Amino acid sequence: MSRITLASRDDGFEVRIREAFGGTLNGHVHRWRRDPDAIEAEVALDELAREQPDVVAFGADVPVDTALRLARMLDDAHPEITVVLVTAPTPRLWESALKAGVEVVVPVDAENGEMRAELERALESSRRRRVNLATDADQGRSSNRVITVVSPKGGAGKSVVAVNLATGLAMAAPDEVVLVDLDLQFGDVAGALQLVPEHTVADAARTPELDLTSLKAVLTGHPDHLYVLCAPESPAEADEVTGDLVTRVIELLASEFRYVVVDTASGIDEHVLAAVEASTDLVLVGNMDVAAVKGLRKEIKVLDQLAMIRQTRHFVLNRADSRVGLSAADVEATVGLRVDTAIPSARAVTVSFNEGLPIIRSDPRSPASRELFELVSQFAEVPAEVRQPASGGLFSRRKAS
């Protein structure tokens, strides 16, 4: 049974909701009639949550500042509740709403069909959250992190982010990081790290009974204290790798390594979905291209529809200073996520990738590296001497033995 609490004193708001569902709601609608500004926020929060709703929808009569303040408190105290805000949306309002934990913003003049669709989406989101929270409480979660880097289109800088993230994590946690190249047909992680692998993930696929020992045997060591599971040398070998194998590989690696970073092919296929399902974190990479932004929004919507919301999402905006008529706020409003890391444009980033030396190592003081270190710091504490090494110092380039 679904429960929707309407935070509004407007009788018309309740009428609109009931008309939108037309008697098809499998549950009930409760209206919270108190004036949120008239009582303490903690009291209002307690009263809103007392009915154990799946969704709390703030009506247009509730001041936006009040709704956002209560939404932020609800998100912290009751993450299983999905918050909906009915208002006149603007890019700045979208940005503030996202930061406050509001998942759905519905235009105040929305038609009944749109209103119903958005509330049904909010109800489904709440259902998935409750299932995932219950699963996490019953099973517990490993302290090891599986970080999958995704992007719907090529050219966004996904592999650059994955390689630099893995390298930065290895600086913070030497020998505890493995980078998996799941761009099975055209993966270039090996080239980006100057590796000539003897084995690839295709060899893991050919192993009759894959276990941790046999999997570790096909990893390629890197002199910067990380390990790499490289993509097949031939695109034809990609057919040997199944979604089930991807799941098995990631589970085994996560049992051994503190950080598993997964680079993926563009778009969504069975391998990407298997990696996402096995992940604790998603790094979504976009840039200031309109088509890329729209594509990322579609990808997020697909992940939501597939109930893949347990993973913590980190939004990386690449080439964030490009002057193409879009702002970071515009991108955030379209994608529905707050930008966590904004990497500026820099020719040196592409050059370093082509030369096989990640910029986070070759030029750790550059603006791009500073942002990449901020991304790394979302997962691990990076020592100050790593961020700003002296010339020829702690992390100067070492040759493989």
Do residue 25 and residue 133 come from a single domain? yes
Give the model's pLDDT for residue 396.
37
Q: Are 249 and 260 in contact (CB under 8 A)?
A: no
Statement to judge: residues 235 and 190 lie in one domain? yes
Whether 292 and 169 share a structural domain: yes
CATH of the domain at 279: 3.40.50.300
CATH of the domain at 21: 3.40.50.2300
CA-CA distance, 167 to 178, in Å (whole number)? 10
Domain range for 93: 2-139
Whether residues 158 and 129 fall in one domain: no
Element (H, E) at 85: strand 82-87
Torsions phi, psi for 204 (to 5 deg)? -65, -35
Last residue of a domain, one of 96, 123, 139: 139
Q: How far is CA 40 from CA 5, 36, 381, in A?
A: 19, 8, 38
The pLDDT value recorded for residue 216 is 94
Query: Which ranges of 30-111 would DSSP assign to H, the alpha helix?
Result: 41-50, 64-77, 91-99
Determine which helix (DSSP H) or strand (DSSP E) holds 349, and give its type and residue range.
helix 347-355
Does residue 207 share a domain with residue 123?
A: no
Residue 395, Cβ density class (10 Å: 0-12 exposed, 13-18 middle, ≥19 buried)? middle
* Phi/psi at 59 (5° precision): -75, 170
Low-confidence ranges of the chain (pLDDT < 70): 1, 26-27, 129, 131-143, 324-325, 383-401
Distance CA 90, CA 108 (A): 12
What total of structural domains would you count in the chain? 2
Phi, psi angle pair for 68, to nearest 5°: -70, -35
Closest CA to 84 of 93, 96, 97: 97
- Say what the pTM is: 0.67
**238 shares a domain with 377:** yes
Q: Answer whether residue 393 is part of any domain.
A: no
Are 331 and 374 found together in one domain? yes
> Which residue has 């695109």 as its token pair?
235
The order of strands in the sheet holding 145-150 is 220-222, 226-229, 177-182, 259-264, 145-150, 281-286, 312-318, 339-343
Kindly report, residue by residue over 88-122, the tens digit of the pLDDT: 988 788 878 887 888 889 999 999 999 998 898 88
Taking Cα atoms as reference points, which of 249, 315, 307 lies closest to residue 278?
249
Element (H, E) at 318: strand 312-318
How confident is the model at residue 141, as a pLDDT? 46
Domain boundary among 91, 124, 139: 139
Asked whether residue 105 is assigned to any structural domain, the reply reads: yes
Tell me the DSSP string of 274-310.
HHHHT-SEEEEEE-S-HHHHHHHHHHHHHHHHTT--S
For 335-392, write each residue's pLDDT tens digit: 888 888 899 888 888 888 888 899 999 898 899 999 999 999 989 887 666 665 544 4
pLDDT at res. 390: 43
- Where a domain ends, among 86, 120, 139? 139
* 399 occurs within a structural domain: no
Class of residue 52 by CB neighbours under 10 A (exposed 0-12, middle 13-18, buried 19+): exposed
